[in-house]
Structure 1
C-alpha cells in the first residue's frame, strides 16, 4: 500500500512539472469549427420496414408458407369451457361437479357458487390446486396444465373448510342428498352429488353445538392446521373438551 501511494505522489509531481497545453480558462469559438454534412446510414435493400411474416400452414409433419393463405377468425363468443370438480375429503365430505365452466371464470365465482350450494360462508372456504391453496383472483385458464385440448380432462379442486365452517353445512342444493342442475355465472349447468348427509341439525345453536361430535372434529382440524402437529393438536383438543365438559 505504501509503495502504491509513493508511486501516485511521484507521478502527480511529475505531471505538475510539465507545461499545460490548454489553460483552464481556454475558450474557443464554435463558429470556427469546420462544417460537416450529416451522415445517414443507407437502408438495407433486402429488408422492408414493418413487414409481417406470411402465415404458415402445417400438413402432417411438413410446414409450408403461403403469402396468400386465408386467415381464420375465431368467434369471440365461443369461449373454451371445461368441467370443474370440487371435492372435500372430510368435515364435511361432499363433491360438486360443474360440467361446463368457461376458462375465464375466476375462483372467486366458483367459491360463491359453492357457498350458495352448501351454506358455508365464503370466509370459511379455501380452494386447493394440487394440495396447495390458490388465490381467488386466479382464473381456470391459469390452472390448466397445457394449452392443447384445454380443459379436456377437467379441473379438479380440493375444498378445505376452515374452523367453524362445517357447522353451517346444510347439504348440497339445500337437500340432504341427490342431484341438482346448477351453473356458474349463468354459463352451463352443474351436477351436484352429496357424499354424506349434514350431521348437524338445522337451527342448532348455543351449547347444543358443543354437544355434537361435528364441532369437536372441526376444532381438531382447525388445531391441526394451525399447529401442524397432530399429537399437540389432539392434546390441546382434549384439554379444551375436558375443561368444557367438566365445568361446574
Structure 2
C-alpha cells in the first residue's frame, strides 16, 4: 500500500469517530430535545414520623404483680423502663419474696409470657401501667426457709486485745499517722510491745 492510500484510509477511519470536545465547551440547553418529566412512584407505605421523645425522658411503667393463690402476693414495681424484661421482673420478685425466679411464671391476660419478652413488646403505645398474674410452681413449698443471720464475731477487749496482732498493727498505723514518720512509728510500736511483753513476763 502506498503512503497516499494509507493516509486516505487513516483519515477515513478518523471521520467515523465522534468529535472530541474541549474542556470549556458549553452546550445551549435550549437545543436539547424535549423529554417528559420523570415522576417518582408513590411509596406503598408511609414513612414513620420521627419520635419526638427526648433521650432519657421515655415513659416509665408501673408493674403490678398479684397472686390470689398460695402464697398470696401483691407487689408494685414503679418507674420501670420499657426495656425491662420479664426475667428482670421475676428477679425482683425473688429479691422481695425469696421465691426462686425459676419457680415463677408471669401471665398477662391469662397467657404465659416468656422471660425474653420486654415491656415495650407487651404494652400499647400510650400505656403507663400493666398487671401480671404470678403463678408459683409448687406453691408456698417453693419458698426456701430464711437463713438465720450469723451473729457478729465478738472482738477481744481489755488486756486480751493486747494479745492480738491487730492491736499492734493499729497502734503502728496511729503512730505513723500522727508522726508522719514510718521508721519512728515502727520503732515506738516495737518498743511499746517489747515493754508490754517484758512487764507481762515479770509482773
Could you tell me the TM-score, scaled by structure 1's length? 0.39
TM-score by length of 2: 0.46
Please identify which structure carries the higher helix content.
2
Higher strand share: 1
